[in-house]
Amino acid sequence: MARSNHIRSGFSLIELLVVIVVIGILAAVVVPNTIMAGDSARITATAQDLRSIEKAVEAYRNSSGRWPRDVNRAVLPPEIAPSFAKSDPFAKVVPTGGVYDYDGATASRGPRISIRSSSGNSIPNDDTIRKIDHEIDDGDITTGRFRKSGGTIEYYLVAGD
């Protein structure tokens, strides 16, 4: 009798289950890290935007002796527009949510940059606000230069206001 040289092809059920379990474990590790990296990037981008706006406002104040005038939300103050020739942070949604609003100085307080809700675009949650605060201020959203006040986030450009 001739012996048949039958070669098995395909995978057994056990082999398939092992592969599925390994893929599931990798996904459980990779997906949360990817989501957190995205949140971290948005927080850093928001902090960088605030610092860039602050530097432009301070440069204008140093050269002119006055603060830029108050403008509506999502509008770049014309006095600092030359600092943002390539990218206007006021023309985009804040990376963590909301829109930027430059609030000019008043008799009772210095200027500030606010993050405010816009139609369909709310400000970030308190946890995200704390993370931004930790990156640019004291980590407490009730004190310091970066604070939450009701439904608005305020970054005071002059300490002590």
Global confidence as pTM: 0.77
Amino acid at 2: A
* b/e sequence 66-96, b meaning 16+ C-beta within 10 Å: ebbeebebbebbebbeebbeeeebbeeebbb
Question: Which of these, 129, 141, 158, lies nearest to 47 by C-alpha position?
Answer: 129
pLDDT at 25: 86
19's CB contacts (< 8 A; 6+ apart) are 11
Question: 144, exposed or middle or buried, with CB in 10 Å at 0-12, 13-18, 19+?
Answer: middle
Look at 124 and 11; give whichever has higher pLDDT.
124
pLDDT tens digit string along 89-143?
999 999 999 999 999 999 888 999 999 998 888 999 999 999 999 999 999 999 9
Helix, coil or strand: residue 58: helix
What mean pLDDT is reported for the chain?
88
Look at 80 and 108; give whichever has higher pLDDT.
80
